[in-house]
Structure formats: structure tokens, C-alpha cells
Amino acid sequence: MRDDIVRWLMAEVLPHEADARRWLRRAGSRNVEDDIIQEAYSRLARIENLDAVRSGRAYFFTTVRNLVFERIRRSRVVPIDALAEIDQASILDEAPQADQIVAGRQQLRLVERLIEELPERCRQVFTMRRIEGLSQREAAAALGLSENIVEKEVARGLRIIMDRMAAMADAPLIASARSQDDGRRQRDR
Amino acid sequence: MMDGANAIDDIAADWAARLDRGLDADEQTELDRWLSEDPRHHGAFVRAQAIWTMLGCGNALAGGSSPGLTEGGSVADRPNRRWVLAAVASGVGAIATGGAMWLGFRGRSPGGEDFVTGRSQLATLQLDDGSKAIVNSNSAINVVYDSDRRLVSLNQGEGWFDVAKDAARPFIVRVNDFEARAVGTAFAVSRETEKGVVTVTEGVVEITGPRGMIGLEAGGRAMLSWQEGTMLVEALSADMLARKLAWRKGLVIFEGERLVQAVARLNEVNSTQITVRGDALGAKEITGSFGLFHPEQFAAAIGAMFSAKVVQNSNGILITDGQS
């Protein structure tokens, strides 16, 4: 897996996942929400030239939307109303969202929250591995656990956090910043 | 389906954990096989990796450096870095001359009527049926009107078309292997090296490509891929739409682009070329609207905003940061 892709997904796509999920729900695709998000990540991870992508958010949403359309087309019942509603509920907006920098600070708080909320042993493992930067072996030695157990805890904790990230569509852990809008207002004065 | 996605996430988390400590050859084969089975496997796995990477960035962020997550800088200093240029009076005044000037080529041939524009030119055309076309600089279109259709071929550049209603004769803009078809509506089509873009400003446009057909409504934009034959559709905000089509008024609107990018945009359409010297200056962010065909006014505005030195000679315009 290309490292730059994973980093890009983390910085440019992950912060917008909750919005994409909310849109899918409004567009009546809740039952296939997880499948579409997974497929969207797969498509995004196959982008050859990341430099050509101006807005990760816009690209992500367009991909999600296309996947919904493809599903509707494949189902062969083409409910025109459904398509119209999708357009109406569109959150596709190319305007760059919350400042990257604000997102970065928020993400730090988010990371702390996510790790704090893990079950105790899991939390210890994640704190060592991700906050303190210990290797699996070092963490295992420090906690008096086998490496195998540490690995299992990593998988378990990661799984919990993956669900937690998806659930941010229900209620964000941290209010989203709209600094871009403020900037725009400033300019209009 | 939900359970399917959940089970996939279970396996994806396992693999992300294993990958982090390193895989042996058998595991690698097994992972590759699983990933290739279903795009959802692949997607869930890269998502798990992205989340794992994000969790590791807490450390770096807290320590002050922040690989991948931010471009550096704090919230407080953001407004300083992002220079806001209010519409510069001289830049806006440029519209009238930029828009009215047309020194391009117009000729009739058996293959229809050709319109060609050069650099720094914008052509506003009244077509025979009452339709109106605005042709961007460095563009070439060919117009053929038949009894059953009105066909415009976009051979180069970009055009915006305000189509007079005529149900019996659809108005078609052909660009590469794609056709955008309208009865009465307004839309823009542009042709680039690897892709085309259709932007609808009014009504509905039907686009047919090698792999199917879509209907695109006002505010919608379709990216046409020459190589793939595909169309990627997205909705633009009113703001974005105005920005993308500002060229029709001889304007260009920047919103946070770096100076080097803004200059590249102007250089693309004008013969007078601007050169920027100094990396810090080139990285300044530009916001505001400018006359697309008036590089000298743009340069003057940049000079005023950033206390930069602007020198114009027969080779073009040179902008340097005051120091050097």
C-alpha cells in the first residue's frame, strides 16, 4: 500500500467521512452506507496522481455520489424521484472546508478522546503504541504481555475506533469548524 | 449487507494490526488475495490504515511538528498568510475592453463556420438562430447548422453557449467522443489535454459519451475523461460556478491560490508573460477578482499588496520581493 495514499486519505478524506455518511442517509442509502463508504475508499486509494486532485472532499463526495448512481442504475428500477432527491440532498460543495490547521488541532483532541474511550488494556496499548510511539515489542515488554496479545488489542481497539469514526455521522465528537465561512464573510465586507 | 460490511471491517482491522508489526511471505500472499476479492475489502483496509495513521499523529501534533496533518502554522497567523485582495478598481475596469475586443479569425467553409481566438482575446458571437456564444481565448469552434440539428465542434479551448429554444433542432456541442445536447439552455464546455468539462448554468444538458448518457442540471459539472470515456458529475456552489465562468466577463477570480498558480493562469491566456522571483513571494495566497487579459494591472496590484517590485520591459513583467 502506498504510504502517500494512506496519509492523504487520513488528512483529506477521513475528516469528511461523517458528512458523506450523513448525506448517504439523507439520500435514502442508509442500508448500503457502509458498503458505499468502503467502495469509495477503495476507489480513492487507486488514484494515480494525487497532485491532480484539488479537493479531497469534493473528490470523495463525487465518488460516493457516483457509487450511489451506479447502484441505482444496476438495480434497473430507475426511480426518477430518488435521483431528484439525491440532487436536492446534495452536499457536494467544492468550497474548501474547515481550515486544515483547525482540523489538525481538532484531530489531536479527537485522537485523545478516541483512545481514552477504549477498554482499559486496549487504552494502555494504544497510548504506548500511538502516543508514545513504542513498537509492538516494546509495548509488550512494558505491559508484561505477549506480543500476540498486544497485536490482538491493537486489532480490537482499531476496530472499535473504526466504528466510532463511522458513528460520528450521528453525533460529532467535536463540533466542526467553519472557519472558511468566516473568511469569506470577511472578504465580502 | 450491513453485517457484510461489519465482518469486512473486523478482518480489515486484523490485517492493519498485523501489517503494522510486519508480515511474512505467506501472510502477504493471503492479504493480497483477500484485498483483490472485493473492492470493499480493499476500501475497508485502507480506511483502517488511515485511521491507524491518524491515531499516531497525536504524538507528532502535540510535539509541534505535524507530518501530513497540517501545513504548519497556527490558527492565529492564518489571516496574515492569506492575503485578501479586494476587487482592485483597475482590474475590474478591464472587463469592458477585454470583453469587447475580438481580433480573432472568422471564416465560412463547406464544413461550416469557424471561429478562432488567440491569446488575450474573448469573442462574443451572435449565431444565426439567435443563440449566443462566448468563446474563451486560445479557442477554436466550428459551427454547422442543419435542418435537424445545430452542431458546434469545440476543437480547442472553451466556450459558453446560451442556446435559443428550438425543439426541432437540438443544439449539440461535440468535444472529442462526447456530445452535450440541449434544446434551450445555457452551458459551458471546455477541452483540455486529458479531459473535458461541461458546466451547466441554466436548464438541463444531456451528455452522451462512449459509455453512456447522463442528464446534467444547472449548477452541475461533468468531467469527461478522454482515456476512460467516463463522466464524473458534481454539483457546484453558486460561488464556485461564478468563479469558474468569470472568464466570460474577461475576469479571473482567485480564492487563496498561490501567486505562482495565479500567474500561471494569466500567462496561459496572455502574450505578456509575468515572471515571479522569490519562493516566499510565489507562495503568497491571492484572493480577489482581476482582469484576465490585463497582466500589467494584475502585477501592479500584487506589487501594492506585497510591497513587491514590479518591472515591465519588452520581455514581459518581472515581480520580485523588494529585498533582492
Chain segment A20-37, per-residue pLDDT in tens = 888 888 777 777 889 999
Return d(Cα B220, Cα B204) in angstroms, integer: 9
Cβ(A15)–Cβ(A107) below 8 Å: yes
Name the B residues in 126-155 with CB < 8 Å from any A CB: none
Return d(Cα A103, Cα A110) in angstroms, integer: 10
Cβ(B229)–Cβ(B177) below 8 Å: yes
How many residues belong to chain A? 189
Residue holding cell 460516493? A64
Crossing angle between the packed helical segments A56-74 and A80-88, to the nearest 10 degrees = 170
Specify the DSSP class assigned to residue B184: S
Chain B residues touching A1 at Cβ < 8 A: 19, 45-46, 49
pLDDT in tens, chain B (324 residues): 444 888 999 999 999 999 988 888 899 999 999 999 999 999 999 999 999 988 876 544 333 333 333 333 222 222 222 222 222 222 222 222 222 223 344 555 556 778 888 787 788 888 888 898 998 888 889 899 888 999 999 999 999 999 999 888 999 999 999 999 997 789 999 999 889 999 999 999 999 998 888 888 898 999 999 988 888 888 888 888 888 888 888 888 888 889 999 999 999 888 889 999 988 999 988 877 788 888 888 888 888 778 888 998 888 899 998 664
Name the B residues in 18-57 with CB < 8 Å from any A CB: 18-21, 39-57
- Helix (H) / strand (E) element for B108: namely strand B105-109
Kindly give the pairing relationship between strand B132-135 and strand B140-145: unpaired
Question: In whole angstroms, what separates CA B322 from the centre of its chain?
Answer: 32
Measure Cα distances from B298 to A39, A112, A187, B137, B261 in Å.
Answer: 45, 46, 18, 18, 13
Mutate to test the interface with B, among A61, A159, A160, A179 (most CBs of B within 10 A): A159
Return d(Cα B173, Cα B79) in angstroms, integer: 43
All three cell numbers of B54? 491518524
- Residue A145: beta bridge partners? none
- DSSP for B167-214 reads TTS-EEEEETTEEEEESS-EEEEEE-SSEEEEEEEESEEEEEETTEEE
Which 3 state secondary structure label does DSSP give B289? strand
Sign of CA dihedral B210, B213, B217, B219: negative
Would you call B110 exposed, middle or buried from its count of C-beta atoms within 10 A (0-12, 13-18, 19+)? exposed
Which member of A34, A107, A154 has the closest CB to residue B69? A107
The complex's ipTM?
A: 0.83
What stretches of B219-294 show up as alpha helix (H) in DSSP?
238-244, 259-269, 279-282
**A121 to chain B, closest Cα gap in Å:** 16
- Taking the C-alpha atoms of A105, A107, A113 and A118 in order, what is their torsion angle to the nearest 10 degrees? -150
Name the B residues in 211-240 with CB < 8 Å from any A CB: 217, 232-237, 239-240
Cβ(A124)–Cβ(A143) below 8 Å: yes
Cβ(B288)–Cβ(B88) below 8 Å: yes
Inter-chain CB proximity B16 and A155 less than 8 Å: yes
Return d(Cα B267, Cα B299) in angstroms, integer: 12
Q: What is the pTM of this model?
A: 0.46
Return d(Cα A69, Cα A85) in angstroms, integer: 12
